[in-house]
Structure 1
Amino acid sequence: MTGSRRRNSNTLIMSGLLSVVFMLQGCKENNHSMQVVTPDSIIASGSSTVYPLTKEAARRFERVNKDVNLAVEFTGTTAGFRKFCEGETDINNASRPINVSEQAACESKGVSYVEVPIALDAISIVVHPSNSWANDISVAELQRLWSPESEGKVMTWRDVRASWPDEPIELFGRGQDSGIYDYFTTAIVGTTRSSRKDYVASEDEEFLAAQIAAEPSALGFFGIGGYHRHWDELKLLAVTNDTYSVFPTLETVKRGEYTPLSRPLYLYLNQQSLKDTPELHRFALSYVEGIRSWIHFTGYLPFEEQVYVDTLTQLQQLEGQ
C-alpha cells in the first residue's frame, strides 16, 4: 500500500537504553517498557526530546484503550525522519520542522503526512552545580565555544570569558541525529550541522545529564525538559542576547525573550496510517486534546490554547478521508 507503514511482526523494539531512561527518570516500570511490535502496533519514533511527551500520551491513552499497542522509541529527529519517509513508522516525533531533503524523501516514497505542533521547548545550557563562576553565557560566547574553528583552540573556561578560571572545559551535547543539534548549530554557529566535534555527543538526554552532574568542569546543551528532570543535579545558565540575560521559563519563551534557543516541537503523522488505522486518529486527538492538562509534569511548555483548538479542528476534518 503506497505511503502506508509496512508492518513487521514480532520485532523487539526495546533496548537497554530505554531501560536506563526509565530508571533515571524514576518512572515506574510497566508492560510498555518492553513492547513487541505486532502487525497492529502503532509505531512512534524520532526525537528523544519529544519522546517523554509521546510516551506519556501513549501511557494515558493505553490506560483506557487496553487493546491498543503504542510502541514508542527514540532515535533522534533526523534518524526518525529517515524511517518515517521509508514508511516504517506511523509517527515521527520531531524537535524541528521537516527539511527540504526529508520532504523530497517522503514524496519519493509516496508518504504523505500531517504536521502537528505539540509543545514549546527551550535549549538549556547547563553546568555542574559546583560551578561558582558561570551564571550566564552570551550567544557570542556560545558561538566562540562551539564553532568548528574552536576545536583544539578554545579549551579552557578562560578562553570563553577572560574573568573565568584557566581550567579545562569539558563539553557535552546532543548528537548529529538530533533535531536539537540541527537547531543549536543553526542558531548559535550560524550553519546547520556545523560545530566542533571534540565533545561527548549523545541522543540520550538522561546520559548527558548524568555525565554533566558527574563532571565539575562540564558545560552542555539539551532540551529544557532534560534540565527540569534533573534540576537538583545541574546548574542552569541564563543566555545573554544583546544587553540582557534570560533564563528559559514559560513566560520568557512565550514572550519570545529567550532567543535564539527556543522553538516548537512537532508530531508528524503518516496520513495513510491515519486513514487505515482509526486507533492512530483517536490517539492523535487524545494527545492534542489532553496535553495541556499534563504537560507540566514533563518539564515542557504548552502552546496557547488556540493552537491546540486549531490543530484539533484540522485532525477532526481528516476523519474518514
Structure 2
Amino acid sequence: MRLLALLPLLVLAGCAGCEEADPSGLAGAVTVDGSSTVFPLAEAVAEEFMRDHSGVRITVGASGTGGGFDKFARGETDASNASRVVKAEELERLRASGVRFIEIPVAYDGIAVVTHPASDWVECLTTDELRRIWEPESAVETWADVRAGFPAVPIALYGPGTDSGTYDYFTEAITGEEGASRTDYTASEADNVLVQGVSGEEGSLAFFGLAYVAENPDRLKVLGVDSGDGCVVPTPQTVQSGEYAPLARVEFVYVNAAEADRNEALDAYVRFFLRMAGPLATEVGAVPLSDEAYRLATERYHSRATGSLFAGRVGTRVVDVLTTATESAALRAATR
C-alpha cells in the first residue's frame, strides 16, 4: 500500500525537467528559409512559438532571399523570408511550379552603412559617394579617393553575396541597377561574418541590415547617409518614417497557401508571427509596422489572398498598399 501511495511522487520525480505538454495537442513541422536580415525576427518568433507548442518543430534557415525563393519554388520550404519583394523571374518560377503564395509584410528595416569604430574621419557619406565606391569598375581604392581631406587608408569592403535581398536592394538604390556592383569585396550571406570582418579591420566599410548593428553596438560605427536633404542616421524612427531614404525597406514572409491550409502547425505559426512581429521586431533590431498595417496584413492572410501587392514598388508605406488592396477587394465584392 505504501508503494502504491508513493507511485504518483515517483512519476513526478522521474519527469522533473520534462517539457510541459502542449494542451492544444498541436504537432507537426514547419520549414522556413530565406533572408539573413529577416532571420533574427523569424528565429525569435519560432522560439517563442515552440516554447508554447512543444509538439511543433520549426526550422529557420538563412540562405539569402534569392536562395530562399529557389527552395520555395522547389517546394522544399513552407515559407520564405525576404528582405525585398519577389522578382519577376521568381514569380515565373513559382507559377511554373504551381506554388501559390500569400505575401505578408512583417517589419521595416534599414540597410546600415558601417565602418570600423576607429574611422574617426567619416560620419556621413552621400549617395553619390556610395555609388562611386560600389559601382562596377570603381576606381576607389582608399578613403582619399572618396573625399578630399580623407586619409589615404585602404578601403576594405564587405557586403552580402549576390543571393541576398540586401545586395539586390542596395545596388538598385545606390548604383541604379539591381546587381550592378564591383566584385572585389568580401561577400557573405551570413551578416555576422560581415560584422566580424568590419570590426576587425580599420578602414573597412560594409552594408547590411540594421538588426545586426543593434546586436553589435560597440563593434561598429554607423554612418549617416545623405541623399540630398542632409545626413540621416538609420534609427527606428527614420526608417519607419521613410526619412532614411533610399535605404529603408520592408521585410516579408511569403507563405505557401496550400500548405497553410493543409499544415495546422504552419497556419498557427503564421498567425502567431503576425501577433508577435511588432514586439519581437523591436527586440531584435528591426522596426515594427504600425498596428493598422499588422491588422490589414492579418486580414489578408486570413482571407488567403494570394499574389504580390508590393512587386515593383519601392519605398511605399505598407499601410497605404494594404489599405488600397482592401478597398479594391471590397469594391469588387460589392459589384458582383
CA distance, structure 2, for counterparts of residue 254 and residue 172 of structure 1: 26
- Quote the offset at 1:41 in angstroms: 2.1
CA distance, structure 2, for counterparts of residue 279 and residue 198 of structure 1: 44
1:95 aligned onto 2:83: yes
CA distance, structure 2, for counterparts of residue 46 and residue 293 of structure 1: 22
User: When the two structures are aligned, how many residues end up with a matched partner?
Assistant: 280
**1:198-277 map, 5 Å:** 198-277=184-263
Amino acid in the other structure paired with 1:158: A
Structure 1 unmatched runs, 5+: 1-30, 32-38
Aligned to 1:171: 157
- Quote the offset at 1:315 in angstroms: 2.1
* 1:64-104, Cα deviation, whole Å (9 max, x unpaired): 11100101111000011011011110010000000100000
CA distance, structure 2, for counterparts of residue 318 and residue 222 of structure 1: 32
Amino acid in the other structure paired with 1:82: D
CA distance, structure 1, for counterparts of residue 102 and residue 115 of structure 2: 38
- Quote the offset at 1:255 in angstroms: 1.9
Amino acid in the other structure paired with 1:115: E
Amino acid in the other structure paired with 1:175: G
1:60 aligned onto 2:48: yes
CA distance, structure 1, for counterparts of residue 98 and residue 302 of structure 2: 23
Aligned to 1:74: 62
Picking from 147, 151, 166, the partner of 1:180 is 166
CA distance, structure 2, for counterparts of residue 131 and residue 261 of structure 1: 22
* 1:104-152, Cα deviation, whole Å (9 max, x unpaired): 00000000000000000000000000111010000000000000020xx
Aligned to 1:143: 131
CA distance, structure 2, for counterparts of residue 44 and residue 272 of structure 1: 15
- Quote the offset at 1:318 in angstroms: 3.6
Contact 2:64 2:189 in 1 (8 A): yes
1:116 aligned onto 2:100: no
- Quote the offset at 1:251 in angstroms: 1.4
Contact 2:41 2:280 in 1 (8 A): no
- Quote the offset at 1:291 in angstroms: 1.8
| TM-score, normalised relative to structure 2 | 0.81
CA distance, structure 2, for counterparts of residue 209 and residue 254 of structure 1: 24
Amino acid in the other structure paired with 1:273: E
- Quote the offset at 1:40 in angstroms: 4.2
Aligned to 1:15: none
Aligned to 2:93: 105
Contact 2:119 2:203 in 1 (8 A): yes
| TM-score, normalised relative to structure 1 | 0.85
1:285 aligned onto 2:258: no
Amino acid in the other structure paired with 1:259: A
* 1:7-65, Cα deviation, whole Å (9 max, x unpaired): xxxxxxxxxxxxxxxxxxxxxxxx9xxxxxxx942100010110111111000001111
* 1:167-196, Cα deviation, whole Å (9 max, x unpaired): 211100111010000000000000101100
Secondary structure of 1:293 counterpart: helix
Picking from 29, 33, 36, the partner of 1:48 is 36
CA distance, structure 2, for counterparts of residue 53 and residue 62 of structure 1: 14
Amino acid in the other structure paired with 2:254: Y
CA distance, structure 1, for counterparts of residue 92 and residue 288 of structure 2: 30
CA distance, structure 2, for counterparts of residue 234 and residue 317 of structure 1: 43
Amino acid in the other structure paired with 2:215: R
Contact 2:260 2:267 in 1 (8 A): yes
CA distance, structure 2, for counterparts of residue 119 and residue 64 of structure 1: 23
CA distance, structure 2, for counterparts of residue 62 and residue 167 of structure 1: 48
Max radius of gyration: which structure?
Answer: 2
CA distance, structure 1, for counterparts of residue 210 and residue 304 of structure 2: 32
CA distance, structure 2, for counterparts of residue 239 and residue 70 of structure 1: 37
What CA RMSD, in Å, does the superposition of the two structures yield over aligned residues?
A: 1.5
Amino acid in the other structure paired with 2:186: V
1:127 aligned onto 2:120: no
Secondary structure of 1:69 counterpart: strand
Amino acid in the other structure paired with 1:122: G
